[in-house]
Structure 1
């Protein structure tokens, strides 16, 4: 699903060094693809759809998206698999975004 590697899996070092904002945006796309999961994201973060749209590029919003996944391990693992990265890379991206 990652746009930079349609026909091959990246090596883990390339994935771990991935831009945290890009990983968060890929994760957000995965979350929003499922209506129930998207509703849960909005409910747990306190955002509405308009707020999310308006602030999607802000580091704290992107970190909240990754925090949402970190708080539910099955989604964290499923998302990581779907976007060809590791759960650890998503957690590291969240940490870089909140610095």
Structure 2
């Protein structure tokens, strides 16, 4: 799907990530199934801006944030090379963790 999916990311992927704030576990699980399918269509570095925005959203909640961090770390550990945008995620995550802790 390539470029067509990348152009749709702003609206669709942002809304998909909001579902991680749902308190129902099966809803969060289905959200990760969707993220896995999205990842198969585009590279992770195209998803990074939406993921970091979602992590800053207080509505995501601690459980959704933890689940998203876990998913993201699994994806990063499976990469053989790290594009600039993906490397930048590590810095953003450190900063986001500081913000969430109130530092």
Q: TM-score, normalised by structure 1?
A: 0.32
- Indicate the structure with greater helix content: 2
Higher relative contact order (CA 8 A, sep 6+): 1
